[in-house]
Amino acid sequence: MRAYPKYLVVIRVLAIGALLTLLSGILSGIGHSIQRYGLDFLPELTPRTFFQRHIHLIIVLLTTPLWLLGGILSVSGAVLRWQAFSMGDVSLLKPLTNINILIVVIVGVVFLHEKIGRTEWIGISGLLAGVILLSIFTQERIIDTYNIPLYLLSTIICIILVSAFVFIGSKLDRSSREKELLFAISSGILYGIATIFLKAMTIEVIQILGYFNIFDPLALVTLITRISFWMYVISSVIAYFLLQCAYSHRRVSVAFPVNNSLSTLVPIIIAVFVFGDTLLILINGFVIFPFSYLPIIGIIAILISIILLRQFQGTITQTPLDTPPSVASSFEEEIKGVSHEAKHLQVSQTSLG
């Protein structure tokens, strides 16, 4: 068998990892877009529906072919991403996953006829830029402990924020654009804290067993006995449903970038306090402007972009729930037809009288 130089083997592995990462981003983006389209055939999803009729809701979603197809594609993208990350340097491959934001926006605008204003385009571009900066320049450390009081405090703060956003969003009118934004923000925060739960439960298992292997029976049993594991499961499930609530308001091109950026931002900020991470990049042990501050710039870009999207919510004028032009026109034609028939009936009754 022919032996290849080591650098060629490394390049080959990285190339395969990059292709898998890009494919995972494409599948994820298309999957989320199809799920949004599948929700067009269902009534509006609300948090109350999830908490009061969750079993019925799950059955309805699973029996909606398009929504189910989108879910399968999204899960397939996640599996490919995990496989890709196991093949190469995560810091090099992770930024490529952000192609899913581009895919979602393109599919949403071009194929689903979602309308995005000029200010919203600026906000979405800022979210993408911020996520890329965080993905490229954020440094992760190997740790074996964490600050439990700050861990609990950050969990409580996130729960309070999510509860407030969900409550406000539930009280808004059905056609309000703020609902999709508030539900997407809530989902992103929960996904972010779920990442912290995941890291915490990994540390807990390592502290007990000295190792972590999800395929080891003892590690698996130890894992499911940890409170952090169940907090991870619960927060992930609720976050997923809140994202579907945001999608049910018909603009995946806005909801997904907000969700994706916050699910990246929140764990990075919390990790500074809980795990002792840093937001500064040290180059040979020194802080060099502006490169050392790029993660902070990314955080600021995401926050400003969300504020821009929030400010634009009340100024956009569209057909309710981003109804595609063809459907909106058919609605208008039906209304005009009904009005014409009513007037004709009224004239007939008057002549008979």
Contact 194, 264 (CB under 8 A): no
d(CA 329, CA 331): 5
Asked whether the predicted pLDDT for residue 242 surpasses 80, the reply is yes
Contact 66, 112 (CB under 8 A): no
CA proximity to 88, closest of 12, 8, 5: 12
**What letter would DSSP give residue 45?**
P
Half-sphere exposure of 2 (CA within 13 A, CB side): 4
289/8: higher pLDDT: 289
CA proximity to 144, closest of 209, 195, 70: 209
For residue 48, what pLDDT band results from cuts at 50, 70 and 90?
confident
pTM: 0.82
183/21: higher pLDDT: 183
* pLDDT given at position 243: 95
* pLDDT given at position 261: 94
* pLDDT given at position 233: 94
For residue 244, what pLDDT band results from cuts at 50, 70 and 90?
very high
For residue 122, what pLDDT band results from cuts at 50, 70 and 90?
very high
CA proximity to 294, closest of 114, 79, 148, 136: 136
Asked whether the predicted pLDDT for residue 82 surpasses 90, the reply is no
Which of 102-106, 153-157, 171-175, 176-180 has the largest mean confidence? 153-157
* pLDDT given at position 311: 77
| pLDDT digit string, tens, across residues 170-223 | 888 877 778 889 999 999 999 999 999 999 998 999 899 988 887 789 988 999
* pLDDT given at position 85: 73
For residue 6, what pLDDT band results from cuts at 50, 70 and 90?
low
Average pLDDT score over residue span 106-124: 91
Within 8 A by CB and 6+ apart from 90, the residues are: none
Among 40-49, 88-97, 114-123, which is the least confidently predicted range?
88-97
Using a pLDDT cut of 90, give the percent of the chain over it.
45
d(CA 233, CA 155): 14
Using a pLDDT cut of 70, give the percent of the chain over it.
80
Residue type at 27 in one-letter notation: L
In angstroms, what CA-CA distances link 99 with 18, 146, 235? 12, 32, 25
Which of 11-15, 185-189, 210-214, 334-338 has the largest mean confidence? 185-189
Decide: helix, strand or coil at residue 43.
coil
Residue 344, Cβ density class (10 Å: 0-12 exposed, 13-18 middle, ≥19 buried): exposed
* pLDDT given at position 320: 38
| pLDDT digit string, tens, across residues 50-60 | 888 888 888 99
Asked whether the predicted pLDDT for residue 322 surpasses 50, the reply is no
- Rounded to the nearest 5°, which phi and psi values hold at 283? -105, 110
pLDDT averaged over every residue in the chain: 82
213/164: higher pLDDT: 164
* pLDDT given at position 253: 93
Asked whether the predicted pLDDT for residue 299 surpasses 80, the reply is yes
Residue 283: its H or E element: strand 282-283
